[in-house]
Structure 1
Amino acid sequence: MARTLRRPLVASMLLAVGATLSMAAARAESADTFPSKPITIIVNFGAGGPTDLPPRRIAAYLEKKFKQPVVVENRTGGAGVVGLSAVARAAPDGYTLGTFSASPTVIAPRLRTVPYNARKDFTPVAQIAEYAMPLCVLPTRPWKSVADLMAHARANPGAVTYSTVGTGSGQHIFMEALAKAEKVKLAHVPFSGGAGGIAALLGGHVQGALDAALAKHAATGECRALASVGSARHPALPDVPTFKELGYTIDAALWLGLAGPAGMPQAIVDKLSAAILEATEDPSYKDLLKQLLLGDKTAGSAAFRAQVAADDERMAAMMNDLGMTAPK
């Protein structure tokens, strides 16, 4: 009887081992032949902006390289959460990627409930650019430096107003961290998008603003850039120092990348990452970044994953310190 029972057990074990080996072989083969069908890139913000145009240029490059269609879909809503949720739910086969930036990944989950975890539910594939944000004031204001502005704020608590794209945005978090580091009180004026905040600054309704789109206005003299948030000086403002150069240790998560769902085969991740980084070296792509006033900072999968993890921990600590996390 024992021998009779043992035979089906052994047979089932052999079938399981065989199935596992077959799946592993199929996975290895799929990396060699990948892609064999269209790839979809989900952009979680609207068409035509700095989050949309870089992946579209990369998609065109990948189409030529892989000889397969690469379709870009804009799935907006929830400040980027809707599109990212679709990526998290997709099959981890490399055929669905999405734009990956800090606001909906390492900031939004601390302000409200989202249906994903930035570090557990995604596979960072490659960083493709970096947002760079100057802190600007009007040229008619007397402040020539961040130190000047902070001195004025210290002497006039709550009198210095600044605009951002909204409460809980990366700009808002950075400015509040700056205020805490300088032991000053600033007045936040949130808008539902960048255009309103920029108009408020240029119209003299607020004293300062932090926004990537202000670079073009600073370059033409419409406003004065005091410093820029980013790992390097803003490409359009080479004479403006970064906050790091000024000795500040606070920072903002400014990366833009592409990611897929968790569980993607490493060989496919490596193949996609290499192809995407190759696309970012194309001269037309670098020209696009200059036009969009984006920083030319890229990274492969491992480095990008490490950056996301580090910024996730850093933003958690920063937001907790500022009391900006939603109650659990």
Structure 2
Amino acid sequence: MPRHDHASLFIPPALTRRRLLGGALAAAAVGATPGASVFAQAAYPTRPVSLLVPFPPGSATDAIARALAPQVSKALGQQLVVENRPGAAGTMATGIVAQSKTPDGYQIAIAPATVFKVPHMQKVPYEPLKDLTYIMGFSGYTFALVVPESSPWKTFQEFIAYAKANPGKINVGTSGAASTGHAATMRLAQRTGADLNHIPFKGGSEVLQAFIGGHINAVLDGGWAQVEKQGKGRVLLAFTAKRMPRLPDVPTAIELGIQHVARSPIGLVGPKGMDPAVVKTIHDAFKGALSDPTYRRYLETYDLEDAYLSGADWYALAQKMWVDERKILEELDMLPK
């Protein structure tokens, strides 16, 4: 696990001890900033703030980011500009922020769970637990195996029976190599003995387009709810700890002997070394927007979790996932040799 360094504190003469302690204590309640420096900063924000989204336009993550943007902009008094940075299994946006040398709060990102998986599989120029400020967690994806409504498979057992009888002919799409869906697909193949072809895409919207277009046989991802509600997809298996309340007849992988829960939280991150007062401003603006009706409607549309976490709790979850994801990858023989 990455080592945690603690940067020295720079306290400008104009910043009194009382003001410093007050700002630091307030920020500690909401944000976790490994190696953070506390420094004086002019009123924030004084210009638009960029929110980097890790998946393409039209994805579930993009939809909720744009739903939150108006209320966050109102709270900040400056526009929150949503910018899509898809790629690298959803880690492109976080990677940009992690390598930033200007932790002024004007560029933040949504980090998906793959941030704690991809660095175990390939070399990246940052360390997730060291090079980021964890501002807050706010949601999570529900992963499931979905097939076209027009397909002949009514149950998971029928799907697997066909896959085993026709090795190499079933294409399962996910939102990228090294993604949460990729690991779940590998686990599915490992536990059932089915020969499944993993087809990676750049994000949820692209894999769903391929699914609707008939280019893949199934999707194992977190943005499937919309196609199911439109009558274009049939959910065969949920990779959740318990059955989904909305779809109580869909079994979980665990029930069928596949010991795999695809936990996939998302949250806000910024560069390391952010001013705690700025972290608190961003946190409070986003937390206040979580009650917005449009945002909550999108949570329901995409079957996303309502899962607020303070910055400290988000960082604690990140630490746990860093360990858990490596263990899963080891079990699936997905780590580099």
Contact 2:169 2:197 in 1 (8 A): no
Matched, 1:226 2:239: no
Q: Which moved more, 1:292-301 or 1:122-131?
A: 292-301
Aligned to 2:30: none
CA, structure 1 residues 232+54, in 2 after alignment: closer, same or farther (shift >3 Å)? farther
State TM-score, norm by structure 2.
Answer: 0.74
Note the alpha carbon deviations across 1:124-170, whole angstroms, 9 max, x for none: 21222222232123456564433454455566665654333443322
* Partner amino acid, structure 2, of 1:163: G
Aligned to 1:190: 199
Aligned to 1:101: 112
Matched, 1:178 2:188: yes
Report the Cα distance in structure 2 between the residues aligned to 1:177 and 1:242, rounded to whole angstroms: 14
Matched, 1:91 2:126: no
Contact 1:35 1:68 in 2 (8 A): no
Q: How many residues align structurally?
A: 310
Note the alpha carbon deviations across 1:158-203, whole angstroms, 9 max, x for none: 5654333443322121111133234x13221414345665566567
Note the alpha carbon deviations across 1:89-123, whole angstroms, 9 max, x for none: 143344432111123x1222133222111111112
Runs of 5+ unmatched residues, structure 2: 1-8, 27-41
CA-based RMSD of the aligned residues comes to 3.6
Note the alpha carbon deviations across 1:59-114, whole angstroms, 9 max, x for none: 321222233333333345545444323312143344432111123x1222133222
- Alignment partner of 2:289: what SS? helix
State TM-score, norm by structure 1.
Answer: 0.76
Contact 2:89 2:177 in 1 (8 A): no
Report the Cα distance in structure 2 between the residues aligned to 1:258 and 1:160, rounded to whole angstroms: 36
CA, structure 1 residues 273+202, in 2 after alignment: closer, same or farther (shift >3 Å)? closer
Report the Cα distance in structure 2 between the residues aligned to 1:62 and 1:205, rounded to whole angstroms: 38
Aligned to 1:299: 309
- Alignment partner of 2:269: what SS? strand
Counterparts in 2 of 1:131-210, with a 5 A limit? 131-139=141-149, 143-150=153-160, 153=163, 160-182=170-192, 184-193=193-202, 194=204, 197-198=207-208, 207-210=217-220
* Partner amino acid, structure 2, of 1:98: A
Aligned to 2:330: 320
Counterparts in 2 of 1:12-31, with a 5 A limit? 22=15, 27=20
* Partner amino acid, structure 2, of 1:178: L
Counterparts in 2 of 1:119-138, with a 5 A limit? 119-138=129-148
- Alignment partner of 1:259: what SS? strand
Report the Cα distance in structure 2 between the residues aligned to 1:175 and 1:274, rounded to whole angstroms: 37
* Partner amino acid, structure 2, of 1:51: T
* Partner amino acid, structure 1, of 2:326: A
- Alignment partner of 1:46: what SS? coil
Structure with greater helix share of residues: 1
Quick one: which of 102, 124, 129 aligns to 1:114? 124
* Partner amino acid, structure 2, of 1:35: Y
Larger radius of gyration: 1
What percent of counterpart residues are identical? Answer: 30
CA, structure 1 residues 166+235, in 2 after alignment: closer, same or farther (shift >3 Å)? same
Q: Which moved more, 1:38-47 or 1:231-240?
A: 231-240
Report the Cα distance in structure 2 between the residues aligned to 1:264 and 1:201, rounded to whole angstroms: 41
Report the Cα distance in structure 2 between the residues aligned to 1:82 and 1:139, rounded to whole angstroms: 33
Quick one: which of 75, 80, 103 aligns to 1:70? 80
Runs of 5+ unmatched residues, structure 1: 1-15
